[in-house]
Amino acid sequence: MNKQRITVGTRGSELALVQASAVEAALAAAFPGLTIERRVIRTTGDRRTDVALAEVAQAEGIIDKGVFIKELEVALADGAIDLAVHSLKDLPTVLDAGFKMAAVLERAPVRDVVVRRAGGGLAGLAAGAVAGTSSVRRARQLRWLRPDLLVADIRGNVPTRLAKLAAGEFDAILLAEAGLVRLGHDPARGIEVDGAHLACDVLDETFFFPAAGQGAIGLEIRAGDEHAAAAVAALNHADTWWRVVAEREFLRLLEAGCHTPVGVWTAIDGGTLRMAARVFPESGGEPLTGAVEGAPQEAVALAARLHAAVGGVTTKGGTKA
């Protein structure tokens, strides 16, 4: 990285570009003389929309690599970009040695939203209604809370999914509140798409558990790049950092990936970090749950306590010693 110039790498979806713009604006405010360039990179997850999102990595032979980050990390390693902007829930919990998650922006809302062509929310969906999601976490929670619904895979960016709902391909879809808000939508007012009014039901995170890192924008750099590290450190939001450190450490202990049916939420109130999780066993049955609290700076230890509270399990089967 040139001390007077920084190149930001991002995916090309509308939401990804909004997130990149937020990072660039924060960099410009922190470093008025810095020249900021953007490079848009198409990732495996963007290219492979022909199979379910949870199956993309297997189809591409990149089992242990996030399908929305591989090409961004290649660009980082080659020096084509100096930092990669990620929706943090897409970033694997264990990164290759050459990379580092260096900072996070202040977090947006973490909740999930049920979007419908009519009001009534999740409870108002009729038996047999078709709910679309690409997330195995959302799918498993839906089937657990509403086993009478039909859960179907849906791919595409947020506008594409909203258009499919408006066209009647689904009775409801589930999306992250953060993405809707960043795209300028107000869930309380609903969304107008292709002449259809779509109603939104925001699901409380203590009822419908979000993904680890949901609502957070993560900044990944090359390990050892001191200039990039100094630049993004100026953008780091401390409370968000401790929350996502706890959530990602919990996933690491579970040996869970981006497409594992695990929900986890955190909150910092009055200097206390609260944390709870819902883990769905691969063998089926009721989810394992647990909750802990402590000082934010003890995020890693809190994650270990929460992992013990859910039985010390791993998503690959069995328990850890």
Write out the catalytic residue numbers: 90
Contact 10, 19 (CB under 8 A): yes
Contact 115, 183 (CB under 8 A): no
* Secondary structure string (H, E, C) spanning 241-268: HHHHHHHHHHHHHHCCCCCCCEEEEEEE
For 264-273, the CB contacts below 8 A with 24+ separation are: 264/209, 264/210, 264/211, 264/212, 264/306, 265/110, 265/205, 265/206, 265/209, 265/210, 267/243, 268/239, 268/242, 268/243, 268/296, 271/295, 271/296, 272/296, 273/242, 273/243, 273/246, 273/298, 273/299, 273/302
Distance of alpha carbon 255 from alpha carbon 249, whole angstroms: 10
Token pair, residue 135, equals 């997330």
Q: Look at residues 249, 263, 246 and name the one whose alpha carbon lies nearest to residue 137.
A: 263
Q: Give the burial class of 237: count Cβ atoms within 10 A of its Cβ; 0-12 exposed, 13-18 middle, 19 or more buried.
A: middle
User: The tokens 């999306």 sit on which residue?
Assistant: 175
Query: Beta partners for 40?
Result: 10
Report the first-to-last Cα separation within the chain, whole angstroms.
43
Distance of alpha carbon 303 from alpha carbon 22, whole angstroms: 29
Cα dist from 312 to 244, 253, 266, 275, whole Å: 20, 8, 19, 16
